[in-house]
Structure 1
């Protein structure tokens, strides 16, 4: 499922796009934001389904080899360890995945079957694959360890696959690292003899509502928050502050004021971490300093009011 940090990143991207384009159609931009989050779930499912498609291709190759006129002993008695991989078979048998693919028309691997072959060929040439086939142990533990390494070492870092995803959906460019981590976590949590069911996209209703509320509050109040920032940065002209830094600080202020259950320190730490990936080298120090000053003043003036977990 999507976590709060990635939700913040998606909101940041939409706020940035809207302010940069001077677009005032907040409803349209919010729809695109939610759509891009939903499409990220497609990317997650496609990555899991790719494991199944590679296994299907391997099965076809083995079946064709058996039909050769001059079939070798190896062709007639192939090593079926990969075809019998218990983890991949769990995904192949999942009605949940099948239903999601059918409902959302995810025929990507049918339309781009050459990419399945690229991954299959790379897997076949790998030492990882050879070592797996030679492993006598037929346990679920071995199968799972192999699938995790297969994804981490061959699928996730494949540049051609990355280009395909980026061409398919522009917002996937920034989603790929998160989705890769998500898939690895899913693989790691798999247990033997347990039917695989796709989890919800959001942890709960609060996380889903967090998307719209954070986006709307930041966009509608961004001019007001800009004044708060100017007061705490007297030696900086607004134009000199990096665009992403300004948006992250505005989002943090919005979080201070509109989400009473989120502790102030948690908010500050989250935006510091996001800045390390999306802004300049020194941004994290700048953002930390500004937010520290603003939060202390807001608490003193009682503009920040926290309840429940937010008090921690």
Structure 2
């Protein structure tokens, strides 16, 4: 049996840098969608101002900047694969264009990871983006995100274990 070092219960755990990157990526994708900002401008703005800093009283957690860039750039480059996968997983009467812009950003970012980052277990991706949805919504949006991402993971044959 290997002995693990004892942790000080009062010490804070380091921030989940990938989780913070996912949250920032969703914010950036939303901004690009609604504000029609370019990829380059968005990456520059978030790199310079949002990742790991306090802005207008909001503390942004330290984020994995490279992972953030991979998600935002990946969604932009692979949107022609991502949107149809999301459409297929959503109810027929609700194509991705009818989904709220924040939910659309969450679903696009998560779907990018499920389709293109097969090195990350689908259950991790789903759990992380359900948590992101909870950060933005108090209603059942997290359930929609969970069901949609689960369906996409099954479409691509991801191992959920």
Match of 1:19 among 33, 43, 50: 33
Cα-to-partner distance string for 1:257-281 (whole Å, 9 max, x where unaligned): 2323311100001111110111351
Q: Which runs of 4+ in 1 moved over 3 A?
A: 237-240
How far, CA to CA, are the matches of 2:24 and 2:65 in structure 1? 12
- TM-score after normalising by structure 2: 0.78
Which residue in the other structure is 1:260 paired with?
A: 118
Taking structure 1 as reference, are residues 213 and 294 closer, same or farther at Cα in structure 2, changes over 3 Å only? same
Deviation at 1:237, TM superposition (A): 3.6
How far, CA to CA, are the matches of 2:111 and 2:39 in structure 1? 19
What RMSD over aligned residues (CA atoms) do the two structures have, in Å?
2.4
Which residue in the other structure is 1:31 paired with?
A: 44
Which residue in the other structure is 1:248 paired with?
A: 106
Match of 1:276 among 134, 148, 158: 134
Equivalent residue of 2:67, what SS? helix
Contact 1:256 1:295 in 2 (8 A): yes
Structure 1: where are the runs of 5+ without partners?
44-164, 167-171, 179-200
Cα-to-partner distance string for 1:242-269 (whole Å, 9 max, x where unaligned): 2211111111111112323311100001
Structure 2: where are the runs of 5+ without partners?
1-13
Contact 2:24 2:51 in 1 (8 A): no
